Amino acid sequence: MSWDHPEIRALVDLALREDIGSGDITSAATVPDDRVANGRYYAREDAVLAGVELLPLIFEMRGGVDEIELLAKSGDSVSKDHAVARVRGRARTLLECERVSLNFLQRLSGVATLARKYVDTIVGTECKVLDTRKTTPGFRRLEKLAAAAGGVTNHRIGLFDAVLIKNNHITAAGGVRQALERVRDAAVPVEIEVRTREELDEALAAGAKHVMLDNLTPKQASYEIQYIAGRAKVELSGNITLDSIRAYALTGADFVSCGAITHQAQAVNFNFRINLL
């Protein structure tokens, strides 16, 4: 994925139009049109940075900025008062882009920072942390990029790039075997959620190579993983928290997925300061 993806460009454009509308009347009234200034973005707390690569895109869309220097990149750990970017240009442009740029930095760095906490918690295990589709509508690609910046492995982007057969699919298909038979020749990864030992046996007999076990305790998950004995990759999911993720990772699971990485992330505080030339 790229920070310059067309869907991301469209979202940035929407954010600018949403905030600026017909024009920044405060800046227009108080700041001379020809005033040039420098601006710097600072972290106000320790964090994992994400989204700084959007700054050139934001200012490119508005024009009037002749110099942008990124002093850090997504995935970098930054400390309080660390400068992450510098811009130079028309003061009115800097002011009208201030809030939008900070909103992206704060939200995405919050996701990256929480993602890093989950990853750090299971260091030393063979398990990988996955993100989920529990993202802010419209922000899917950005939040996936931010999660990756924090060290998380991206799961599928949407319904279009991998098969994940869940309980409602099994019911609608008529059973585990029927669902798997219909995706036997799929050209994308295939995973199936199983709820019982009977469903697990049926999935393995039908050739499943990747299974999801949902809402088990670490003890229950360990027991099922021992039973699977390497016949399929195993993902654990369901209400997994920072306090519990290491216990799940130590069960022998290949993956642990955590929706909290995106839907419970708190924004990181950043500041933008302008100085006249």
Active-site pick, 53, 98, 193, 254: 193
Asked if the structure places residue 92 within a domain, the reply is yes
Active-site pick, 214, 231, 233, 246: 214
Are 167 and 253 part of one and the same domain?
yes
The model's confidence at residue 277, banded by pLDDT at 50, 70 and 90, is confident
Are 84 and 57 part of one and the same domain?
yes
Asked if the structure places residue 1 within a domain, the reply is no
Residue pLDDT, tens place only, 105-141: 999 999 999 999 999 999 999 999 999 999 999 999 9
Q: Over 90: is that where the pLDDT of 182 sits?
A: yes
Active-site pick, 134, 182, 195, 231: 134
When the pLDDT of each residue in the chain is averaged and rounded to a whole number, the result is: 97
Known catalytic residue: 214? Answer: yes
Known catalytic residue: 233? Answer: no
Overall average pLDDT of the 176-189 stretch = 96
At 171 the pLDDT is 96
Are 141 and 191 part of one and the same domain?
yes
CB neighbours of residue 153 within 10 Å: 13
Overall average pLDDT of the 87-107 stretch = 98
Are 235 and 124 part of one and the same domain?
yes
Are 33 and 44 part of one and the same domain?
yes
Known catalytic residue: 166? Answer: yes
Q: Over 90: is that where the pLDDT of 239 sits?
A: no
CA-nearest of 236, 5, 258 to 152 is 258
Are 46 and 68 part of one and the same domain?
yes
Overall average pLDDT of the 148-156 stretch = 97
At 12 the pLDDT is 98
Overall average pLDDT of the 2-23 stretch = 97
Q: Where are the alpha helices (DSSP H) in the chain?
A: 6-20, 25-30, 54-62, 91-121, 140-149, 167-173, 176-181, 197-205, 218-228, 245-249, 260-263
Residue 46 domain boundaries: 6-113+266-276
Overall average pLDDT of the 78-104 stretch = 98
Are 91 and 130 part of one and the same domain?
no
Residue pLDDT, tens place only, 199-220: 999 999 999 999 999 999 999 9
Residue pLDDT, tens place only, 18-53: 999 999 999 999 999 999 999 999 999 999 999 999
Are 24 and 140 part of one and the same domain?
no
Asked if the structure places residue 152 within a domain, the reply is yes
Q: What percent of the chain has pLDDT over 70?
A: 100
Asked if the structure places residue 19 within a domain, the reply is yes
CB neighbours of residue 133 within 10 Å: 16
CATH of the domain at 174: 3.20.20.70
Overall average pLDDT of the 238-258 stretch = 96
Helices 6-20 and 140-149, interaxial angle, to 10°? 110
Q: Over 90: is that where the pLDDT of 1 sits?
A: no
Overall average pLDDT of the 157-185 stretch = 96
- Domains held by the chain: number: 2
At 22 the pLDDT is 97
The type of residue at 259 is G
Strand 270-276 vs strand 36-43: parallel, antiparallel, or unpaired?
antiparallel
At 48 the pLDDT is 98
Are 96 and 125 part of one and the same domain?
no
Q: Over 90: is that where the pLDDT of 226 sits?
A: yes
CATH of the domain at 36: 3.90.1170.20
Active-site pick, 9, 86, 99, 177: 99
Are 87 and 61 part of one and the same domain?
yes
Active-site pick, 40, 62, 133, 166: 166
Known catalytic residue: 144? Answer: no
Known catalytic residue: 81? Answer: no
Are 127 and 71 part of one and the same domain?
no
Strand 36-43 vs strand 83-90: parallel, antiparallel, or unpaired?
antiparallel
Asked if the structure places residue 217 within a domain, the reply is yes
Are 244 and 272 part of one and the same domain?
no
Tell me, what DSSP letter sits at residue 123? T
